Structure 1
Amino acid sequence: MTGATDGLGRYVTRELTKAGHRVLAHGRNPERLGGLHNELGVDTVQADLGELRQVDRLADEVLRRLDRLDVLVNNAGVGPGADQSRREESADGIELRFAVNHLAGYHLARRLVPLLVASAPARVVNIASIGQEAIDFADPLLERSYSGMRAYRQSKLAQIMATVDLAAELRGTGVTVNALHPATLMPTTMVNEAWPGTSVSMLEQGGTATLRLILDEGLATTTGRYFDSNTPDPVDPDPQASDPDARRRLRELSDRLVTAALTRAPR
């Protein structure tokens, strides 16, 4: 579980642990990870997902510590920000929301595919959003025209597009890959930063939806789909997710950015 120290990730980690499941909980802040360990007794792993070398190290550590992986939940994310006019970059010089919300989970899942396949039946659950906006491949990292909300929505659609691709690649292996909008404006740090004092859904609503995708045997063979909260059936995301050419362009861009980040000289 990435992003396990706060909000939805913490809620789901707690519920899974209470039910007797073993959870390897990821977080960025060592002190908060220590608090989570003390509260729940879970194993923890630390990495800043804004740097792809650390994502790579995270994958190495998971592969070293686990002999099986039943579910990977890519939950960690960055919202549109308090100042949505301010463009931020990751440690790799990549627009921050694209880097954390899409590239980190994209690279982590692909590094962990061999373990997931060996553990099959297994699942990948990508925590996306109903807030989606088509990627402008003429300016995918929003270097010419920036909006925090657009950056967030593009990154969330990128997650869903990558979900469709990975599901197709893994079809027949026993590993399913699905994306989820857990709930709208839950009372989380991300929401409070962008929309102070605003919440629409309870944390439990998003937690229930996430746990369903993790545990529901009725979804054991469902793959490559996008779910909206607790609605029983998959729904259609932004139409760009169904465009094979757009997904190819995103995949090529993602691979290029990951390769460049992992091969550049350390700062």
Structure 2
Amino acid sequence: MTNSGIALVTGATAGLGRAVATALAEQGMHVLVHGRDAERAAGVVERIEKAGGTAQVHLADLASLAQARDLADRVSAEHGSLRLLVNNAGVGAGRPPYRRRRLSADGHELRFAVNYLAPVLLARRLAPTLRKGAPARIVNVGSVGQAPVDFADLRMDAHYSGTQAYFRSKFALAAFTFDLADELADDGVTVNCLHPASLMNTHMVREAMVPPMSTVGTGTKAVMNLAAGPAGGAVTGRYFDGTSEARAHEGTYDPAIRSRLSRVTAELLAPFLTDDDRAAG
């Protein structure tokens, strides 16, 4: 990828997202810094600008699909094209014993909504803008922790576990990555997913009261490999563990599972998508 163009990084006000946004700006990209907190987002923009880069704030709470839709629409309206979408924002397993189930603004299990439904909605609504910026890329920040979705209990009303909810959301994100990559294969837009690093020193990991094993810098290197490095332009529909190509959960490659997930997702997102969005692929 040439070091120019516009990049949207979700969850860019702290941790991995902030580091990736800063690294992209250092490479010459204009970075759209997404977050929920105006002051923190402005601080990231100020940091980037002091280092000689350019950036601007885009606020939205991705626990609301209406706000996710509006974020995509603002980006499309304000910018003629987009070179990169990094779906980084996420909700972790939470604080032990991981039993507190929370719902999103739309009544979905919170982790499924923020870690999966919002990235799908953003990718769908931004697909035309990414096509205009082609060659363009979508990088979905996933996790090595993945577990099959229970289609009979998407809200996890029974036997709730924050860890399982997190794993299921990342399973779904990987499966979606592979489908979208197939859909956009002829449009100059690559779509890849990665586990950036194990237990980085971020708020998400500290909240889970687990000792960090990796640095944010390690995760940033892995994301940048797909976001701005040669790997992200050479392959599509792949899963990476760090900077190395790997295999996601085997269920994410199952056509029947992916087809059912796609149908269910389309139903859940129907109020927030136009016919053009649904045909984005």
Matches within 5 A, 1:118-197: 118-196=132-210
Q: 1:218 to 1:89 in 2, by over 3 A?
A: closer
Query: Could you tell me which of 221, 238, 243 is aligned with 2:249?
Result: 238
Q: Percent sequence identity over matched residues? A: 47
Does the Cα contact within 8 Å between 1:53 and 1:262 map onto a contact in 2? no
Q: Residue 30 of structure 2: SS of its match in structure 1?
A: coil
Matches within 5 A, 1:36-185: 36-41=44-49, 42-83=55-96, 84-185=98-199
* Structure 2: gaps spanning 5 or more residues: 1-8, 50-54, 275-281
State the Cα deviation string for residues 2-32 of structure 1 (Å, max 9, x = none). 0000000001111121222211110011111
State the Cα deviation string for residues 111-135 of structure 1 (Å, max 9, x = none). 0001111211110000000011111
Matched, 1:206 2:219: yes
Cα distance in 1 for partners of 2:273, 2:235 equals: 33
Cα distance in 1 for partners of 2:118, 2:249 equals: 21
Matches within 5 A, 1:244-259: 244-259=255-270
Select between 137-146 and 56-65 the one with higher mean Cα deviation: 137-146
Matches within 5 A, 1:214-229: 214-229=227-242
Structure 1 residue 250 displacement after superposition: 1.0
State the Cα deviation string for residues 195-225 of structure 1 (Å, max 9, x = none). 25x1000111000000010112244230111
Does the Cα contact within 8 Å between 1:131 and 1:153 map onto a contact in 2? yes
- Amino acid in the other structure paired with 2:183: E
Structure 1 residue 137 displacement after superposition: 1.6
Cα distance in 1 for partners of 2:273, 2:181 equals: 25
For the aligned residues, what is the CA RMSD?
1.5
Does the Cα contact within 8 Å between 2:69 and 2:272 map onto a contact in 1? no
State the Cα deviation string for residues 39-71 of structure 1 (Å, max 9, x = none). 223211000000000001101110011112111
Select between 139-148 and 67-76 the one with higher mean Cα deviation: 139-148
Does the Cα contact within 8 Å between 2:131 and 2:188 map onto a contact in 1? yes
Select between 132-141 and 70-79 the one with higher mean Cα deviation: 132-141
Does the Cα contact within 8 Å between 1:52 and 1:262 map onto a contact in 2? no
* Structure 1: gaps spanning 5 or more residues: none
Cα distance in 2 for partners of 1:218, 1:8 equals: 19
Select between 174-183 and 251-260 the one with higher mean Cα deviation: 251-260
Q: How many residues are aligned here?
A: 260
Does the Cα contact within 8 Å between 1:73 and 1:125 map onto a contact in 2? yes
Cα distance in 2 for partners of 1:71, 1:20 equals: 13
Matched, 1:35 2:47: no
Does the Cα contact within 8 Å between 1:92 and 1:261 map onto a contact in 2? no
Cα distance in 1 for partners of 2:18, 2:235 equals: 26
Does the Cα contact within 8 Å between 2:99 and 2:161 map onto a contact in 1? yes
Q: Residue 149 of structure 2: SS of its match in structure 1?
A: coil
Cα distance in 2 for partners of 1:195, 1:104 equals: 26
Structure 1 residue 259 displacement after superposition: 2.3
- Amino acid in the other structure paired with 1:82: R
- TM-score under structure 2 length normalisation: 0.89
Does the Cα contact within 8 Å between 1:49 and 1:55 map onto a contact in 2? yes
Query: Could you tell me which of 8, 12, 19 is aligned with 2:20?
Result: 12
- Amino acid in the other structure paired with 1:47: A
Select between 179-188 and 25-34 the one with higher mean Cα deviation: 25-34
Q: 1:50 to 1:178 in 2, by over 3 A?
A: same
Runs of 4+ in structure 1 deviating by more than 3 angstroms, as ranges, are 260-263
